[in-house]
Amino acid sequence: MRPGPAFNRRKEADKKTVDWIIEEVSGRDGEREARRGLVKEAIDAMSLFYRYKKLAAKNKVKYRFAVEVARRLEAEHSKGLERFGTRRRVEMERAMERAMEAIPSCYGGDHSLCKTHSLVCRHPKTWKPSSLSKPTRGNIKLNASDRKELHAIMQHRLGKTGLEKTRKGTNSNKCESVNRRISKSQPKNLTRSRTLAGRLASAIHSSNNGVGLSIAMKRYAAGIPLSKHSPTVRVLQKMMKRQRYKRAYKKEEGTKTRARMNVVKKFNAYDETREQGTYKSTEEDAGKGRRRSARRRVPRVNTDHMSLIV
């Protein structure tokens, strides 16, 4: 970041003060050596302060850049998965290799490689580095060592081993969801050695088809189909409707964009409060001198219909 005119004026004023002190201390022009030493010391002390301020700003940019790069690599990867699927491994590797070549100069504002190499920064829409603050967008010039470091980081995500590890496009959220589903039909406090395989298969079936539909299908396959007029069918249909709505809502582009924009908004709000220098945690403020009341327990509604039916 370039210091503004106010910064320069203050620096100028500080220099004048230093000069004035030197004049007072040294008195005569003859004592040049002592004066030079003092000037050097004063300027060093000053620049240390300025350097510190610069360093804080630099660290902020660094942190934002890290967040931004992670987002960019993830976007390139998911676009690649969309295009090549999980089976066209070699093509995916090549595409990611090309993307990694384009990314460093993309942040410097040069998109000439992006057009052919990147999967997300293409004509007519270039990639928006929304995690970066506005003055740094398209202005991050990387030197040779920076590029080397960035390349190592990118290799970690989009290199051969990284791709192999994430080939199926799972994430911790998805894995945990399957774990949750399995522990529902195979609780850890019970050992069912004979029916384990069937129970696991049942859990996955339910995860893939939705709870309501899966129950109806299983009953049908077992030769005990539900009657059309059974009240259970109505309940299952309701469950399916709710589940489908929730899944569709989470996948909507609008929901995703809103979630992303909330993160950007938080970043911007943080920037503003930091610049004003009046940032105070509201939580800390509210808790001062006051005792917190005990949390009220919300009554739990049991929606676990599986335990009743299966």
Q: Which stretch binds Zn ion (CB under 5 A): 29-37, 54-62, 115-123, 176-184?
A: 115-123
163 half-sphere exposure, CB direction, 13 A CA radius? 24
Angle at 209 between CA 222 and CA 305, to 5 degrees: 70
Q: Which stretch binds Zn ion (CB under 5 A): 106-114, 181-189, 259-267, 280-288?
A: 106-114
Question: What minimum distance in Å lies between the beta carbon of 115 and Zn ion?
Answer: 8
Query: In this chain, which of 69, 96, 106, 240 binds Zn ion, going by CB under 5 A?
Result: 106
Question: What minimum distance in Å lies between the beta carbon of 120 and Zn ion?
Answer: 9
User: Total number of residues binding Zn ion (CB under 5 A)?
Assistant: 4
User: Residue 215 corresponds to which tokens in the numbers above?
Assistant: 């129950």
Question: What minimum distance in Å lies between the beta carbon of 154 and Zn ion?
Answer: 14
Q: Which stretch binds Zn ion (CB under 5 A): 100-108, 154-162, 218-226, 245-253?
A: 100-108
Q: Which is nearer to Zn ion, 138 or 186 (CB)?
A: 138
Question: What minimum distance in Å lies between the beta carbon of 114 and Zn ion?
Answer: 3
69 secondary structure, DSSP code: H
Question: What minimum distance in Å lies between the beta carbon of 122 and Zn ion?
Answer: 8
Q: Which stretch binds Zn ion (CB under 5 A): 46-54, 67-75, 113-121, 216-224?
A: 113-121
Q: What is the dihedral sign for C-alpha 175, 180, 186, 189?
A: positive
Nearest to 180 by CA among 204, 198, 201: 204
Q: Which stretch binds Zn ion (CB under 5 A): 28-36, 108-116, 166-174, 227-235?
A: 108-116
Query: In this chain, which of 15, 111, 137, 199 binds Zn ion, going by CB under 5 A?
Result: 111
Spatial separation of the C-alpha atoms in residues 233 and 227, rounded to whole Å: 8
Using the rule CB under 5 A, is 121 a contact of Zn ion? yes
Using the rule CB under 5 A, is 119 a contact of Zn ion? no
Spatial separation of the C-alpha atoms in residues 203 and 185, rounded to whole Å: 6
Contacts of 227 (CB under 8 A, 6+ apart): 233
Spatial separation of the C-alpha atoms in residues 14 and 50, rounded to whole Å: 12
Question: What minimum distance in Å lies between the beta carbon of 102 and Zn ion?
Answer: 6
Using the rule CB under 5 A, is 114 a contact of Zn ion? yes
Q: What is the dihedral of CA 257, 263, 268, 271, to 10 degrees?
A: -160
With 0-12 CB in 10 A as exposed, 13-18 as middle and 19+ as buried, what is 18?
A: middle
Q: Which is nearer to Zn ion, 2 or 123 (CB)?
A: 123
Question: What minimum distance in Å lies between the beta carbon of 84 and Zn ion?
Answer: 21
Using the rule CB under 5 A, is 103 a contact of Zn ion? no
Using the rule CB under 5 A, is 73 a contact of Zn ion? no
130 secondary structure, DSSP code: T
Q: Which stretch binds Zn ion (CB under 5 A): 54-62, 111-119, 201-209, 296-304?
A: 111-119
Q: Are 95 and 78 within 8 A, CB to CB?
A: no
Exposure string over 227-258, b if 16+ CB within 10 A, otherwise e: eeeeebeeebeebbeeeeeeeeeeeeeeeeee
Residues that bind Zn ion (CB under 5 A): 106, 111, 114, 121
